[in-house]
Amino acid sequence: MLRSMKDLEDYAVGATDGAIGHVKDLYFDDEAWVIRYLIVDTGSWLSSRKVLISPISINRPNWTKKLLPVSITKEQVKNSPDIDTEKPVSRQHEMRYFGHYGYPFYWGGTGLWGGGAYPGVMMSGYAGLPSTQYSIRPEVPEAVARAEKEQDTKDEDVHLRSCKTVVGYHIQATDGDIGHVKGLLVDEDTWAIRYLVVDTSNWWLGHQVLVPPPWIQDVSWADARVSVNLTRQAVKDAPPYDSAAPLDRKQEMRIYEHYGRPAYWADEVTREAALSAH
């Protein structure tokens, strides 16, 4: 099922030993278009410090109660690396973060999360291990030290962006402007951003459409502009999106049929089959 980015804001996040805080924003990977971190305001217990929580640690969400339980402790969160959540996050910051929690790196594999499509598989084989013991795995700190040494010789590799920041960006088709980003729809299982919600009201009154990230040609962060490989007429004729109603697979199929392009779930089946073959 797909969740609106705005709906995820203010969700409560609960550690194994108590409440951590509430979601205030999300960081997404601007290469893979996947949510990599939740930005959580810790409230009074950590003087409203904002911390990052990875979907890797999220257990089964309680969507009814708007609660995201995580398999980490409050002490781990308290001692996690300080990160300026008002700025994009670099790979160096991520390596320190992953080293603290003892997570394997998600980058370098062929899937959205390492070698798979789901964040939970990152800790496969460690499901029965208490989260406080993740850090005893010796290969993690060694890998962090090695990667940081290599990264020191490179420029800052910033590839994580705030979801709130991209809302409002102008959308440009191949033949002109078509509107602006109204929101994002996130896959609750993979945490992939499946669609940009595009509001065309400044061009065509009262119409919202969905555009998948793979159809993006370029993002100009300096100009707050997203260029898509679509014509204005194709967008105008696209199936409208109603944010008040859940989006089902049949509606998604109509979007891809309209544009004559393959759906993301077909690509994922092919990718998973290839991974299984190896």
Q: What CATH number should be reported for the domain holding residue 250?
A: 3.90.50.10
The two three-digit tokens of residue 98, written as one number: 């992953």
Looking at 108, 140, 162, which one is the last position of a domain?
162
Residues 65 and 137 in one domain: yes
Report phi then psi at 198, rounded to 5. Answer: -105, 125
Per-residue pLDDT tens over the stretch 90-132: 888 899 999 999 999 999 888 899 888 999 888 754 433 333 3
Q: What is the pLDDT of residue 128?
A: 36
Q: Tell whether 106 is covered by a domain.
A: yes
Residues 8 and 127 in one domain: yes
Residues 129 and 28 in one domain: yes
Contact (CB, 8 A) for 33 and 192? yes
Range among 73-77, 161-165, 242-246 rated most confident: 73-77
Q: Tell whether 278 is covered by a domain.
A: no
The two three-digit tokens of residue 13, written as one number: 């996040």
Provide the number of structural domains found in the chain.
2
If DSSP codes are grouped into helix, strand and coil, which group holds residue 126? coil
Looking at 107, 136, 162, which one is the last position of a domain?
162
Residues 171 and 151 in one domain: no
Residues 223 and 207 in one domain: yes
Residues 156 and 94 in one domain: yes
Looking at 117, 137, 162, which one is the last position of a domain?
162
Contact (CB, 8 A) for 29 and 185? no
Range among 101-115, 183-197, 261-275 rated most confident: 183-197
> 19-53 b/e with 16+ CB inside 10 Å = b?
ebbbbbbbbbbbebbbbbbbbbbbeeebeebbbbb
The two three-digit tokens of residue 11, written as one number: 């969700």
CA-to-CA distance for 94 and 243, rounded, in angstroms?
33
Q: What is the pLDDT of residue 268?
A: 59
Beta bridge partners of residue 210, listed in sequence order? 197
Q: What is the pLDDT of residue 127?
A: 39
- Assess whether pLDDT exceeds 90 at residue 35: yes
Question: Residue 149 — very low, low, confident or very high, per pLDDT cuts 50/70/90?
Answer: low
Q: Tell whether 47 is covered by a domain.
A: yes
Q: What CATH number should be reported for the domain holding residue 24?
A: 2.30.30.240
Per-residue pLDDT tens over the stretch 180-189: 999 999 999 9
Q: Tell whether 140 is covered by a domain.
A: yes
Q: Who wins on pLDDT, 158 or 80?
A: 80
For residue 157, CA distances in Å to 33, 137, 170 come to 16, 26, 25
Contact (CB, 8 A) for 193 and 185? yes
User: Which whole number is the average pLDDT over 128-141?
Assistant: 40
Q: What is the pLDDT of residue 136?
A: 35
Q: Tell whether 274 is covered by a domain.
A: no
For residue 233, CA distances in Å to 100, 203, 226, 265 come to 50, 12, 17, 26
Q: Which domain holds residue 200?
A: 167-269
- Assess whether pLDDT exceeds 80 at residue 61: yes
